[in-house]
Structure 1
Amino acid sequence: MEPGGDEALLRSIAAGDAGALGRLYAQYSHMLFGYLHRLAGDRMVAEEILQDTMLAVWRSAGAFQGRAKVSTWLFGVARRQAHNRLRGRSAPEPAGVGLPERADLSAGPEELAILAAGGTPVAAAIDRLPEHHRDVIALVFVAGLPLADVAEVLGIPVGTVKSRLYHARAAVAAALTAQEVPK
C-alpha cells in the first residue's frame, strides 16, 4: 500500500466508512488472527477477539495520532482486546453496529504450521513460558513483526524485546533438551 494508505483508511473509518474497515480487515486479519490464535490457544476465541479488535478499531480510529505505524497500532489494539477477553473482562456485544461481514479466515501457511505444532513439545514449552515471553514469541514468530515494531506494540525498549526473545528461546531449548535426556 502507498505511504499514508493505512492512515487514510483509518481516517475513512473514523468518518464512518465501513468499506474502509473491510479493506483494513482484509489487509491485516491473517496476521492479527495468527497472533491472537497463539495468545488465546483456541481458534474460536481468537476469531472473537479479532472481531472485538475490529470493533475497537471502528470506535477508536479517530484517536489514531500517527505516532506509530498503523500495523503496530493494530497489534496494540489486538493485544489489549486479547488480554481483556482472556482475563474475563470482555465487553458486551453492541446492538445494531453495522460492521461488514467478516471474511473466511481459512488457514494460511503460518497458521497451518502453528496448528501442526499445537500438540508438539515446542508448543508445550512455549505455553509454559511467562506471558511476557509468549507475547514476544507470538509477535516475532507468528505475526512476523520486526523487533522495533514489537517494542512499539508492547511499549518496551527494543533491547528488552531482544532480551525477552533470547530468554524465551533459551527456555524453550532447555525444555526440549530436558525431554531428550534418557531417564
Structure 2
Amino acid sequence: MDARTEETMPPRHDRTAGRAEQDARALARIAGGDAGALAELYERYAGPLFAFLYRLAGDRGTAEEILQDTLLAVWRSAPSYQGRSAVSTWLFGVARRQAHNRLRGAPPPLAAEPGDGAAPAPGPEDLAVGGDRVHRALARLPLAQREVVVLAVLGDLAHQEIAEVLDIPVGTVKSRLHHARVTLRGCLDERLA
C-alpha cells in the first residue's frame, strides 16, 4: 500500500464502526424480510463462521450443515436482536447455539482417510482453518477451550466479545485461553518429538 492510499483510507476504528453500522442495518432489513440482506451478511461472515463451526464439528459437511442452520436461525430471530452486542458477536452466538444443538452428545468425527492414498487438494476453507496437525491438536481440547481458541484466533474476537458470545466472564475467557495454549503447545511439541 502506498502513502497516498493510506492517506485516503479511514482509520481502522472508523472502518470497524462503519462495518458495525452496515451490519446493524442489514440485520434490521433481515428482520423486515429482506433476503438480500441475509445474503449480504452471509458474504461478510460465512468464512469466519465456517472456520469456527469446522473447528467445533471437526467435519466439513457437518460444519456446512450447521452454517445453514445458523442462517435459518438468523432469518427467524433477526427481529429479536436488541443491539446489546455487535452483530458479529451475535452471529457467532447463534452459530455456537446451533452447533451445540447439532453436536450434543455426539463425539467429534475422525478425519476420513483418502481412499487411494493420495491426499485431496486443500480447499480455501482448509487453508483458512489451518493444517491437519493443528486440526488434530484442536480436536484434543475440551469443547469449552476449543470454542475460546477458535473465536479468538479464527473469529478475531476480543476477550469481551468472546465473553458475550459464550455468556461467561472475561476472566473465564482468559483462563480458558491460557489452559488451551498450554495444551496445544504440549500437543504440537509431542508431534514434533
Paired with 1:44 and 1:153, the residues of 2 have a C-alpha distance of 24
Q: Quick check: 2:31–2:78 contact (8 Å CA) kept in 1?
A: yes
Are the structure 2 counterparts of residues 42 and 3 from structure 1 closer, same or farther at C-alpha, using a change threshold of 3 Å? closer
Equivalent position of 1:62 in the other structure: 79
Are the structure 2 counterparts of residues 15 and 179 from structure 1 closer, same or farther at C-alpha, using a change threshold of 3 Å? closer
* Residue identity opposite 2:124 in structure 1: A
Do structure 1's residue 150 and structure 2's residue 150 form an aligned pair? no
Equivalent position of 1:131 in the other structure: 143
Q: Quick check: 1:38–1:142 contact (8 Å CA) kept in 2?
A: no
Equivalent position of 2:31 in the other structure: 14
Task: Determine which of 96, 101, 106 is the counterpart of 1:79.
Answer: 96
Q: Displacement, 1:135?
A: 0.6
Q: CA RMSD in A?
A: 2.0
Task: Determine which of 25, 30, 38 is the counterpart of 2:55.
Answer: 38
CA offset digits 1:101-146 (Å, max 9, x no partner): xxxxx615xx40535x22x1x4323211111001111111122212
CA offset digits 1:35-66 (Å, max 9, x no partner): 11111111111111111000000000000000
Do structure 1's residue 164 and structure 2's residue 180 form an aligned pair? no
- Does the residue aligned with 1:68 lie in a helix, a strand or coil? coil
Do structure 1's residue 114 and structure 2's residue 129 form an aligned pair? yes
Q: Which runs of 5+ in 1 are unaligned?
A: 90-105
Paired with 1:64 and 1:159, the residues of 2 have a C-alpha distance of 26
Q: Which runs of 5+ in 2 are unaligned?
A: 1-17, 107-122
CA offset digits 1:51-107 (Å, max 9, x no partner): 100000000000000001000000000000011111279xxxxxxxxxxxxxxxx61
Tell me the number of residue pairs that the alignment of Structure 1 and Structure 2 aligns. 160
Paired with 1:176 and 1:3, the residues of 2 have a C-alpha distance of 36
Paired with 1:138 and 1:158, the residues of 2 have a C-alpha distance of 16
Q: Quick check: 1:133–1:165 contact (8 Å CA) kept in 2?
A: yes
The TM-score, its normalising length taken from structure 2, stands at: 0.76
Are the structure 2 counterparts of residues 26 and 132 from structure 1 closer, same or farther at C-alpha, using a change threshold of 3 Å? same
Q: Which has the larger radius of gyration?
A: 2
* Residue identity opposite 1:157 in structure 2: P
Paired with 1:162 and 1:48, the residues of 2 have a C-alpha distance of 30
Paired with 1:132 and 1:11, the residues of 2 have a C-alpha distance of 31
Paired with 2:71 and 2:84, the residues of 1 have a C-alpha distance of 20
Are the structure 2 counterparts of residues 136 and 123 from structure 1 closer, same or farther at C-alpha, using a change threshold of 3 Å? same
Q: Quick check: 1:151–1:157 contact (8 Å CA) kept in 2?
A: yes
Paired with 2:192 and 2:43, the residues of 1 have a C-alpha distance of 42
Q: Displacement, 1:152?
A: 0.9
